[in-house]
Structure 1
Amino acid sequence: MADKQADPHHESAGAWAKKYHLATRMMMESVLRPHDLGPTQWYVLYQLATVGPTSQRDMGLLLQVERATLTGVVAALVRKGLVEQTTDPADQRQKVLTITKAGKALWRKLPDPIALILETAFADESEADIATTARVLRTATGRLTEWLSKGDDA
């Protein structure tokens, strides 16, 4: 019997979820590259442009990225003049991120890579099929997250 893990034609939902994730990441990088931004930088700008100033600690939790990764992303955005990093007056140990005027100007000109991905990926799919896909993946992700939160002895 063939080993399904080694089968390049593996057709499980998980295999397709991974392929979709990788394809969306490549498309997002392609759309943002001309603007000298990466996907994580875009998500930081998205949060700051749509929600407002956010603590760097909260940003890491929202984006689910390692502290060191976010530090580099924020440093790049600060160097580009798109984000300002200040000390939180309530807790001097924490940093608050705010989008700058230049960041707002760029944000207004940026294409929305998420909208483009959704329009392209789901162009001929029914709303019902899209809703079912989202529900199934949300439920599966919740179950996996719950299992992981129980630890290795689950």
Structure 2
Amino acid sequence: MRTHRSAAKSATAFRTISEVSTELDVPQHVLRFWESRFPQLRPLKRGGGRRYYRPEDVELLRRIQSLLYLEGYTIKGVQRLLKEGLTDSGEPLDTVETSGIDEADEPAEQAIEPTDAPDIELPSAAAGAEAPPSPTLPEAARREIEDVLEELKILRSMLAKAADSAE
């Protein structure tokens, strides 16, 4: 009987997507999605497209995971942080300096507070009733919504492809 022995691998050994998925507790499809979104992440691909992650790839995935899941950044926000090299300094993530990043890239819980949302009165259902003018969103909120919409469209496409291949 074969047993799983990931502890036996050296720290410099390459890891398969299955091993990285287990180690980071992130589904494999999410790792592949991140690969499509972060050009800095380039695992080696062998015959049949099998991925092999170097130790530096696994460390980058750990940083991405932490920024997205623990710090609350959006995909766009993490892309900008990585592009500017703000997380490549070797500092722990909780001490990464974020000054100079616009508010769309700040953690989601700080981007827009519910109390900042304008009160919107729904238009009357009566025929001929005019709708009140639509309030304008702050630019940062609009960008955040557009980013989320883009991610949802990508996920919808991925789900449709998976459903088609399952049939």
TM-score (norm 1): 0.28
Counting strand residues as a fraction of each chain, which structure ranks higher?
Answer: 1
Bigger relative CO (Cα 8 Å, ≥ 6 apart):
1
Larger helix proportion, structure 1 or 2? 1
